[in-house]
Structure 1
Amino acid sequence: MSYEHFSSYYDLLMEHVEYEEWLRYMERIFLEHNVNVDHVLDLGCGTGELLLLMDQKGWQVTGVDLSEEMLSIAQSKLQMAGVTPQLYQGDMSELPPLGLFDVITIFCDSLNYLDDEEAVKRTFASCYKQLKPGGMLLFDVHSPAKIKAFDGAVFADASKDVSYIWTSFAGEKPLSIEHELTFFALTKNGYYERVEELHKERTFESGIYKSWLEDAGFSLVEITADFLTKQPTDESERLFFACRKIDAG
């Protein structure tokens, strides 16, 4: 999977996304469960949009992403806003010790890019180790219904500088999906360059995530859906997990 070209167009593809919804979700959890927040680790931080919003809340933020290109954009974006970012390149399932955090987040279905069960388990275990006692892990994933709905879907958009075609089809593993992205980008010499990338995602049933979280030591606070406080249904598209580290250190 390559992010060489995707990173350049990520913000364009995500311009409809309201990152404030994730921020409001976090604030609700913190208020309802009496969480004192100082330092937040955001795994799969992408181009830093959510990091910027977190910083504006007065939280100290650290970001990790697999893509060096994504992190380069995030660094420039944060520095332009007067923020000195702490950014690290790496795989969330092979996370090195970065310190102890009050909160760790994995948002915008970043966890779904781990299509191996053991990789998800390693991620949960590493998050547990790097949380302070009483700290929280917050993440969202595509629901099984959403993954199934992707199969056969085609998205497209055209503008002067860049156009894209996004085709999704079922992957080889259960509850997995593959996205073929084709971009046509205007170059400096006036020609359009065609680039292609393949992205793979996989999800699991909520009960499986719950079991893996408990095995890692977490106490599950709540599972909700679609940025709301409601319980997930068969029609829910995005599942949210709020978990707490309950040991004394």
Structure 2
Amino acid sequence: MNYITFAQLYDQLMDPEIYESWLEYFKQRVSPNSGMVLDLGCGAGALTMQLKKAGFQMEGLDLSDEMLSLASERMSRANVFFPVYQADMTDLNGLGQYAVVVSTLDSLCYLANFAELGKVFREVYAHLKEHGKFLFDVHSVYQMEKVFPDYMYNYQDQNEAFLWHSYPTDVSYGIEHELTFFIKDQATKNYQRLTEHHYERTYPLANYIDLLKEVGFKKVEVKADFGRSSVKNDSTRWFFCCDK
């Protein structure tokens, strides 16, 4: 059996339309000639690559070596390159100044607590040029309290199966995702099982806005549905565009 990592499977799982929607949201708010953009929590670099191809100057940062290896492979296949850094987003020491910092696909929801979120906001603010922008998305409280608890999604074909089950936790606005893949070995007909648990947490919308303004952001725009609509009680994800 060819060894396959969870990172590879997770990268393959993502719907390309999500990146296309994020690209459009980003392009409506940032010009390609704005300057250098840092993709914070870039993962395997799928969105970073799309932004680079769209004319933006890109750098990527992620904590996962596996994900950054996939980003390097993606760059090699496309013959399109951008710098990537392996680091914790709570400490951006050593990085330069950016015109824009972007963090997508609820990467900030993986932070352990509100104190860590504050560290990231302060690090981003410190590494943004004057009048720079910070764009990110997070899960809403509605998503955490009404959609995710006991959510299940199963997929299978002849070669693989994927099971996703979400559980509530004893932490306010927290959720645990159990993600399991079964990959078929064509030679032996046996299956390789890969399982990971992901923990995410969000906070009331006012908490995000207050923290961003406390850090120093002058203007905070919050939308839903990739910026296409205003925030409602049943919005599942919040999209922020913050001006330094």
Structure 1 moving runs of 4+ over 4 Å? none
Separation in structure 1 between the aligned mates of residue 186 and residue 156 of structure 2, nearest angstrom: 18
Question: Retained in 2: the 8 A contact 1:210–1:220?
Answer: no
Which among 149, 152, 174 is matched to residue 151 of structure 1? 149
Separation in structure 1 between the aligned mates of residue 121 and residue 170 of structure 2, nearest angstrom: 24
Q: Does 1:127 align with 2:124?
A: yes
Identity of aligned residues (%): 38
RMSD: 1.7
Separation in structure 1 between the aligned mates of residue 228 and residue 81 of structure 2, nearest angstrom: 34
SS at the partner of 1:18?
Answer: helix
Question: Retained in 2: the 8 A contact 1:97–1:130?
Answer: no
Query: Which segments of 5 or more consecutive residues in structure 1 lack a partner in the other structure?
Result: none
Structure 1 residue identity aligned to 2:20 = E
Deviations 1:138-161 (CA, angstroms, capped at 9, x unpaired): 000011111121000111111233
Separation in structure 2 between the aligned mates of residue 168 and residue 18 of structure 1, nearest angstrom: 20
What's 1:21 paired with? Answer: 21
Separation in structure 1 between the aligned mates of residue 88 and residue 215 of structure 2, nearest angstrom: 18
Separation in structure 2 between the aligned mates of residue 89 and residue 27 of structure 1, nearest angstrom: 26
Comparing 84-93 with 144-153, greater Cα deviation is found at 84-93
Compute the TM-score of the two structures, normalised by the length of structure 2. Answer: 0.92
Shift of 1:16: 5.2
Query: Which segments of 5 or more consecutive residues in structure 2 lack a partner in the other structure?
Result: none
Question: Retained in 2: the 8 A contact 1:41–1:63?
Answer: yes
What's 2:66 paired with? Answer: 69
Question: Retained in 1: the 8 A contact 2:227–2:239?
Answer: no
Which among 78, 83, 106 is matched to residue 75 of structure 2? 78
What's 2:232 paired with? Answer: 233
Shift of 1:30: 2.6
Aligned residues: 239
Question: Retained in 1: the 8 A contact 2:149–2:175?
Answer: yes
Shift of 1:67: 1.0
Structure 1 residue identity aligned to 2:47 = L
Deviations 1:213-237 (CA, angstroms, capped at 9, x unpaired): 1111112331111113432111101
Separation in structure 2 between the aligned mates of residue 36 and residue 8 of structure 1, nearest angstrom: 32
Q: Does 1:207 align with 2:206?
A: yes
SS at the partner of 2:200?
Answer: strand
Compute the TM-score of the two structures, normalised by the length of structure 1. Answer: 0.90
Deviations 1:23-54 (CA, angstroms, capped at 9, x unpaired): 111111236xxx95221100111111101111
Q: Does 1:42 align with 2:39?
A: yes
Separation in structure 2 between the aligned mates of residue 228 and residue 241 of structure 1, nearest angstrom: 9
Question: Retained in 1: the 8 A contact 2:59–2:84?
Answer: yes
Q: Does 1:178 align with 2:194?
A: no
Q: Residues 214 and 36 from structure 1, CA distance in 2 versus in 1: closer, same or farther, beyond 3 angstroms?
A: farther
SS at the partner of 1:21?
Answer: helix
